[in-house]
Amino acid sequence: MSEPPMPPAAPRIPPQPADEWDESVRETLSADIGSLGLGVSSLGEAHVFTTLARHPKLFAAWLPFSSQLLLAGELPFADRELVILRVARNCDSPYEWGQHVRIAAKAGLSSEDMTRVAVGPDAPGWTERQSLLLRATDELHSDARIGQSTWAGLTRHLTEQQLIELPMLVGHYHLLAFTLNSLRVLPEPGVPPHELTERLGQQPGESSLPR
């Protein structure tokens, strides 16, 4: 049986203060990312980055791959954010959810769209494309593969490169959710992880995300 959701607690590995950053990551962590919608103005203010910066070699290897998926992938912005929100919900990752609620809004997803993410691919109101993306995300989470019927549907909507990218995107954000949850990475001031779940009538500390 899995452990119950953990209430807010001190991080197991806290963000690294700026005066301790390795020189190899200092310039990266000072980059201006205000336009991305993370609720912070630089990587150096985002706890996910300053926590991972404690492992400079891994950080340097991980960030280009993460940036490729987040900023330069073949999947459209809205598709990508829909998938990431579903991963955050499936992995019960408050930090990932809270950050990507903000980014998804910049991608054009409505609050109603984000609420339906908690219901899943069968919720009324999705387009066929959106439903297939959500279903593929769920199948990867539960079965470690996209089922044949879902794959056949996706081929009507996605290019070959997008089909390759989709499971990579889902897998990457599982990796990140596992890390965020295990290290207990906390939201930055002003970036509450429960922004959407509170609107659904759920209080912080009960269950991290709607189910």
Tell me what pLDDT residue 42 has: 72
Comparison of pLDDT for 101 and 193, the residue scoring more? 101
In angstroms, rounded to a whole number, what is the distance separating the alpha carbons of residues 186 and 180? 8
Coil, strand, or helix at residue 29? helix
Q: Is pLDDT of 185 > 50?
A: yes
**pLDDT(206) > 60:** no
pTM: 0.86
- In this structure, what is the dihedral angle of CA atoms 128, 131, 133, 138, given to the nearest 10 degrees? -150
CA 162 – CA 136 distance, rounded (Å)? 13
Give me 38's structure tokens.
């993370």
Q: 188: Cβ–Cβ under 8 A, 6 or more apart, which residues?
A: 39, 40, 45, 46, 47
Indicate the SS3 state at residue 195. helix
Q: pLDDT for 54-92, tens place per residue?
A: 999 999 999 999 999 998 999 999 999 999 999 999 999
Quick one: which H or E segment has residue 26? Answer: helix 23-29
pLDDT higher than 80, residue 158: yes
Distance CA 118, CA 28 (A): 34
Helix 160-183 and helix 77-90: axis angle, to 10°? Answer: 40
Q: Nearest Cα to 43, choosing from 20, 61, 67, 65?
A: 67
DSSP of 37-98: -SSSSBGGG-HHHHHHTTSHHHHHHHHHHHHHHHHS-SS-HHHHHHHHHHHHHHTT-HHHHH
| First-to-last C-alpha distance (Å) of the chain | 17
**With bands split at pLDDT 50, 70 and 90, how would you rate the model's confidence at 37?**
low
